[in-house]
Amino acid sequence: MPLKAEQLEQALERSIAPIYLISGDEPLISLECCDLIRGKALAAGYADRQVFGAESLNWDQVVSETQAMSLFSDKRVLEIRIKNGKVGTEGSKVLTQICENPPEDMLILVDCGKLDRNQLRSKWVKSMDSAGVHVHIWPIKPKELPYWLSARLSQAGIKANRQAIAVLAERVEGNLLAAKQEIEKLKLLLDGDEVDAQAMSAAVADSARYDVFTLLDRILSGDADEVTRTLKGLREEGNDTLSILWAICREIRILIQVSDGLAAGQSMDTACQKAGVWKNRQQLVRSALQRLKPGRLNLLLRQARLVDQLSKGAKKGDAWLEMENMVLTFCGRPVRNNEVQKTGLIS
């Protein structure tokens, strides 16, 4: 049964399901959902808890645990943490079998992070939907963030005007974990008066999220200034060029596939669907293709190849500088006098 995160507490008050699947791309909300389930389960007598982590997941052990008798409690929680929803053939089989015959007096909690469209259609996910509760968490959209922050501030007993909330939203840039930390800090710093923009600015730190997903969205939208700022943040946080490059190249290839589809007479919706573009990202793809013709997309791949060579030491030069040039090309900015030009990659 699918549920929204905000519906979970009320559902748990009514009854505890044998199986819970928590998926999505908002770590804070996922964590809070899991904590809520654990708390309700403990109160209901599920005192024994076994956790299988993403880095050391052994499906044979999971099967053994579901078949074993507990030494400490009649009711148990079996928690499985899966990285990026990647369960593999064996994991899919095990989870499907568990759903077909859930163990008595055991609550299965699966926390799997973000699931892509194909994973959401997989047999094991559909089985968990049918046998238990699936809480699929969507990221908070920018226009929704002020309302989310307002509700959280109110829950914390903090009165903040619209301008103050706007300041907080700008500082945390969609990072809900950072927002929670800032709100906890505000509870300690403030004396109960309503918070205005000036007080909020003084109280909160710049907790902007420099992650690859943010970078990709800003690249597709063509926001060159924010792209360079985000790329700088990623570098300062210790990210390596190759992991970022992989994500950017994936977007380039998606754009090429959509562009080819449009050239073949497909509609934008059809071309995006065949390229695996989510509905809520189609406008970003459309925006990128309005400024990036096929020749420019091929140039981006050549630039990416140079960044790869520099990152691996196959050529001498600054991989981060060349990556910055590449993303500026992506945004529609002119390519600087850089290694790409020196090696004749621009045609």
- The pLDDT value recorded for residue 169 is 85
pLDDT confidence of residue 140:
82
Question: Phi and psi dihedrals of 195, rounded to 5?
Answer: -90, 130
Question: What pLDDT does 33 receive?
Answer: 92
Residue closest to 130 by CA, chosen among 122, 138, 139, 141: 122
Q: What's residue 346's pLDDT? A: 35
Q: Which residue, among 116, 118, 124, 139, has the nearest Cα to 90 in the 3D structure?
A: 124
- State residue 75's pLDDT score: 85
Contact 67, 40 (CB under 8 A): no
CA dist 238 → 217, 232, 233 (Å): 20, 10, 9
Provide the angle, in degrees to the nearest 10, between the axes of the packed helices 241-263 and 212-221.
40
Beta bridge partners of 134: 2, 21
Name beta bridge partners: 333: none
CB crowding 139-168: b at 16 or more within 10 Å, else e? bbeeeebbebbbebbeeeebebeeebbbbb
DSSP code for 160: B
d(CA 305, CA 302): 5
Q: Which residues contact 100 (CB under 8 A, 6 or more apart)?
A: 127, 131
pTM: 0.57
Q: Which CATH number fits domain 212-342: 3.40.630.30, 3.40.605.10, 1.20.272.10, 3.90.1150.10?
A: 1.20.272.10
The alpha helices in the chain, defined as continuous H runs, are 8-14, 27-43, 59-67, 88-100, 117-120, 123-131, 145-155, 162-172, 176-189, 197-203, 212-221, 224-236, 241-263, 268-274, 282-291, 294-311, 319-330, 339-342
What distance in Å separates the CA atoms of residue 222 and residue 216, rounded to the nearest whole number? 10
CA 201 vs. chain centroid, Å, equals 27
Task: Give the model's pLDDT for residue 342.
Answer: 43
Long-range contacts of 233-237 (CB under 8 A, 24+ apart): 233/208, 234/210, 235/320, 236/210, 237/210
Question: What is d(CA 151, CA 154) in angstroms, rounded to the nearest whole number?
Answer: 5
For residues 251-285, one letter each, b for 16 or more C-beta atoms within 10 angstroms of the residue's C-beta and e for the rest, the string is bbebbbbbbebeeeebebeebbbebebeeeebebb
Beta bridge partners of 107: 77
pLDDT per residue, tens digit, the chain (347 aa), is 888 888 888 899 998 899 999 988 788 888 899 999 999 988 888 888 888 875 567 888 888 888 776 555 578 888 888 877 777 888 888 888 888 888 888 899 998 888 888 888 888 888 888 888 999 988 888 888 899 999 999 888 888 888 889 888 877 767 787 788 888 888 877 766 678 888 788 777 555 556 777 888 889 999 898 899 889 888 887 878 888 888 888 889 899 999 999 999 999 889 988 887 777 788 889 989 999 988 889 889 899 999 989 988 888 889 999 999 999 999 987 655 444 444 333 33
Q: What is the DSSP string of 56-116?
A: G--HHHHHHHHHSPPSS-SSEEEEEE-GGG--HHHHHHHHHHHHHSPPTTEEEEEEEE---
For residue 48, what are the β-bridge partners? Answer: 76
* Domain extents in the chain: 2-137, 145-203, 212-342
Given this model, what pLDDT does residue 113 score?
80
What would the CATH number be for the domain defined by 145-203?
A: 1.10.8.60
**Domain range 2-137, its CATH number among 3.40.50.300, 3.40.920.10, 3.40.50.460, 3.90.25.10:** 3.40.50.300
Nearest to 189 by CA among 198, 199, 178, 179: 199
Q: Do residues 22 and 35 make contact, with C-beta atoms less than 8 angstroms apart?
A: no
Q: Edge-to-edge, what's the strand order for the sheet holding 133-137?
A: 2-3, 133-137, 19-24, 106-113, 76-81, 48-52
Q: Report the C-alpha dihedral over residues 63, 64, 66, 69, rounded to 10 degrees.
A: 170
The per-residue pLDDT for 266 is 92
